[in-house]
Structure 1
Amino acid sequence: MIQGAGIRLNGWQRAAIAVGSAVGALLDPRRADLIAALGETTGKNAFERVLERMKKSAEGRAVLLEQPRVISANVGHAWDLPENTFGAAYARFMGSRNFSPDDRPPVRFLETKELAYVAMRAREVHDFWHTLFGLPTNLIGESALKVIEFEQMLLPMCLMSVVGGTTRFNEKQRAIFYQHYFPWAVRAGMQCTDLMCVYYERHFHEDLEVVRQRWGIIPAPPAPRPNST
C-alpha cells in the first residue's frame, strides 16, 4: 500500500521541525525518527526531482506503479536464495546485524502520496545500498553512504549527516574517512546508475557481482590495516 499523504505544514512549522530535528539528531544520532523528520522537512525539492527521474525510467515507473515496500513479508524469501545472489547478500547483511526491514519510521511531513512514497522508498532501500557497496554500519560506513546518497538525491539531510557525523570522528577515524572512504564515495556515487530507479526486489535472484557491474557499483575499499594511514 502507498504511504498516505502527511501532515500539512506552513513555512514556519516546517522550519521549526527542521531545526529541532537537526539539533536532536546531532545530540543523539540513534534517533531515526528525528533524522527522518529532518529529511522530510528539508528534502521536498529533492524528492520531487527524484520522482521526475523515476517517471522517466521504465524500472522507476514500475516501482511507482507497484509501490513495493521493503518489509519482512515482502523480502523474507531473500533468506532462502543461493549464497551468490544479491538477495542472499542482503539477507546476510541484515541477519548479521540483527536488523529488521520493518524498523523504518513512517513518512509524516510530505503532503502528497507520490512524494511520501518516494521518501519511504529512499529510506527503505538504504540497506540495499549498504549491501551493494559493501559498507559497514559504523560511523565511517554510514557517513560514506550519506555521501553517495547526497550525490544520488541531493538531499540536504545527507550533507548535514556527513557534517554531523564527521564532527564525532576521532583523529584516526577522520584520517581513514578522508583518505580512504570520502574520495571513494564521491567517485562511486558519480559512476553508478540512478539507484532510485532500480526495482531491487526483481533482482534478488541475480548474482551479486553481476548486478554490481550492471549498475556501475564500485565496492567500498577494505578498511586500512593498523598503522597504514
Structure 2
Amino acid sequence: MSVVFLPRVLRISARALGTAGWAGHRGCSGWTSDGGPGHLYGGHIPTNPVQKALLAVGSGMAALQNPYRHDMVAVLGETTGHLALLRLRDRMKSSPEGHSILKERPRIRLSTLDLTEMSSLPDGSLGREYLRFLKENRVTPDSRADVKFVDDEELAYVMQRYREVHDLLHTLLGMPTNMLGEVAVKWFEAAQTGLPMCILGAAFGPLRLSARRLQLLTASLGPWALRNGRRSNCVLSIYYEHRWGQSLTSLREELCIEPPPLSLSTLRKTT
C-alpha cells in the first residue's frame, strides 16, 4: 500500500512535504517559532489525531515497502514520536550543552559548515571524518526533510536536530550507508531515542538483509549497537558544531560508545 490510498486531505498534506520549507531558517542557522496564524513554526502543518493516525499508517506501510522513502520515514517519525521526543527534550535540558542547543537552535546545513576549515582538520577528527563521510557517500545534510507534523515548536526542533545528526552518528559509529549499516544505526537509535520510527526500522530492517549480513548483525553488530545505544550519553546533547576538531576516539570515550566491532571496509564489502 502507498500513501496515495490515504484520504484526499492527507494526500494534500503529504504532498506539502516537498513544497513547504522552514520559514524559521533565519540566515544560516537560525530558527523562529513564527509560522503564521494556526501554525506553530515555519512549515508546520496542523493535523488532528485522526489525520495523524492515518498519516502514520500510510507512511508506515510505504516505508516498510521501501525503506529508502525518506519522506515517508519522516512522516512516520513525526506522527508517532511525541512521547519519545518529550523524553529526548528532557534529556537535552538536563545537560548544559544540550540546554544550549535547545536555546540557540543551530542547524547542520551546508550553509552552516565551514568546509574549507573542516577539510584542513587532521585525519581522525570529527569534522574531517564527517566531511569524508559526506563526500564518499555523496550525501548532504540538506537532504534531511523539514519537520512539519509535530505540534510543539520545541519538540519539532528536537526532531529536526535528530535528523541532522543522523549522518554524524554514522561517522561516530563507523557505519556505512548500505542496508547493513543503516540497520545497525537504527538499532543504536532505537535504544538511544525510543522513537517508534527507529524501533520499527530496527525490527523490520533485518528482513531486507542477505543471509551473510543478517549473521553479522545478529552475532556482532546488533548486540554492540543495542548495548551502546542503551548506555551511551545522549547524542543529541553534543554541540557538534563546537567539536569538529575533537578526535573521534575522544568523543566516543566521552559518550561511552565502544569502537565498532568490524571495520568500515569490511562492512562495505559484505554482501
TM-score surpassing 0.5?
yes
C-alpha separation between the residues in 1 aligned to 2:231 and 2:82? Answer: 25
1:116 maps to 156
C-alpha separation between the residues in 1 aligned to 2:131 and 2:208? Answer: 30
> Is 2:31 aligned against 1:2?
yes
2:186 maps to 146
Aligned partners of 2:190 and 2:202 also within 8 Å? no
Aligned partners of 1:2 and 1:113 also within 8 Å? no
3-state SS, counterpart of residue 214 of structure 1: helix
Residues 78-98 of structure 1: CA deviation (Å, up to 9, x unaligned): 233222311101011111111
193-202 or 164-173, which deviates more: 164-173
Aligned partners of 1:7 and 1:108 also within 8 Å? yes
Matches within 5 A, 1:213-224: 213-222=253-262
Aligned partners of 2:95 and 2:237 also within 8 Å? yes
In the superposition, the TM-score normalised over structure 2's length comes to 0.79
C-alpha separation between the residues in 2 aligned to 1:68 and 1:214? Answer: 22
Matches within 5 A, 1:1-229: 1-2=30-31, 4=41, 6-77=44-115, 78-222=118-262
The higher radius of gyration belongs to 2
C-alpha separation between the residues in 2 aligned to 1:104 and 1:127? Answer: 10
Residues 12-52 of structure 1: CA deviation (Å, up to 9, x unaligned): 11110000001111112111110000000000111111111
82-91 or 17-26, which deviates more: 82-91
Where does the alignment leave 5 or more consecutive residues of structure 2 unmatched? 1-29, 33-40
Letter in 1 for 2:214: R
Residues 96-154 of structure 1: CA deviation (Å, up to 9, x unaligned): 11111111011010012111100000000001111111111111111111111111110
C-alpha separation between the residues in 1 aligned to 2:97 and 2:253? Answer: 17
3-state SS, counterpart of residue 117 of structure 1: helix
How big is the shift at 1:190? 2.2
How big is the shift at 1:61? 0.7
How big is the shift at 1:163? 1.9
Aligned partners of 1:79 and 1:88 also within 8 Å? yes
Runs (4+) off by over 4 Å: none
Where does the alignment leave 5 or more consecutive residues of structure 1 unmatched? none
Cα RMSD for the two superposed structures: 1.6
C-alpha separation between the residues in 2 aligned to 1:86 and 1:43? Answer: 29
Aligned partners of 1:144 and 1:182 also within 8 Å? yes
Higher relative contact order (CA closer than 8 Å, sequence separation 6+): 1
Residues 178-210 of structure 1: CA deviation (Å, up to 9, x unaligned): 111111111111232111111111111112211
Aligned partners of 2:125 and 2:244 also within 8 Å? yes
Letter in 2 for 1:47: L
3-state SS, counterpart of residue 205 of structure 1: coil
Residues 84/173 of structure 1: CA separation in 2 closer, same or farther (3 Å cut): closer
